[in-house]
Amino acid sequence: MSARLCVLVSGSGTILEALVDQGVAIALVGADRPCRGLEVARAAGIEALLVARADYGAFGAQFDRDRYSSDLAGELTSRDIDVVAMAGFGTIITAAFHDAFPGRVLNTHPSLLPDFKGWHAVGQALAAGVSETGCTVHVATLALDDGPILAQRRVVVKNDDDESSLHERIKAVERELYPAVVTRVMAALSEGRDISSVIREMEDV
């Protein structure tokens, strides 16, 4: 039986659009706030689910992260989701979510991990004066921007780059790499294999 994929979004949904455009089978799109990504899902005929942070304390110190993570996991498991791909999802989720999808939460990050973790990776790369950076697709864990690396692509840093121009070129690569990795992961799961097998397969992508 084919693996069922949920894509989690928080913003414009450009990575989601890339997944849709490249024919990735998406069973569900979830979001933590009203956003264009939900509209992208509906336009593509994909179920769109809003589990709003506003109902859990919003974005301040009162945000109940554990309850949010648990409820989000419950919504996905009730829909028989097998694997989750974060695509610009802006909420850090806790063990309650990862326990529901052990080793089956994917993420894409705009750097060559383990370098430049966190929300400002592109700016950090520029500040460090590196000659190249890129994007990484990895298995997400409780540690931010950690976990087994599935694939990476390199992007040259140009002398006249600012954060915006560099980030746009990274996104262009990301929109090709992420769908390729997600497709391989879903195929592996559908065949009863572990996601770790995809690491070897991605060498030719």
Strands (E), the chain: 5-9, 28-31, 47-50, 83-86, 105-109, 132-139, 149-156
Q: Quote the tokens at residue 59.
A: 């974005």
CATH topology of 1-102 equal to that of 107-205?
A: yes
How far is the C-alpha of 44 from the C-alpha of 90, rounded, in Å? 22
The pLDDT > 70 percentage for the chain reads: 97
**What beta strand segments (E) does 14-66 contain?**
28-31, 47-50
- Let me know if 167 is a catalytic residue: no
The strand pair at 105-109 and 28-31 is best described as unpaired
For residue 194, pLDDT over 60 is answered with yes
Q: Which of 109, 120, 138, 167 is catalytic?
A: 109
The pLDDT score that the predictor gives to residue 204 is: 44
Superfamily of domain covering 107-205: Formyl transferase, N-terminal domain (3.40.50.170)
Alpha helices by DSSP H, listed for 25-143, are 36-43, 65-77, 95-100, 121-128
CATH architecture of 1-102: 3-Layer(aba) Sandwich (3.40)
| pLDDT exceeds 50 at position 99 | yes
**Domain boundaries defined on the chain:** 1-102, 107-205
Q: What is the pLDDT of residues 49-86, one digit of tens each?
A: 999 999 999 998 999 999 999 999 999 999 999 999 99
Q: Rounded to the nearest 5°, which phi and psi values hold at 136?
A: -130, 135
What mean pLDDT do residues 101-126 have? 95
As a whole number, mean pLDDT of residues 3-15 equals 96
Average pLDDT of span 175-195: 92
* 20-57 residue pLDDT tens: 999 999 999 999 999 999 999 999 999 999 999 999 99
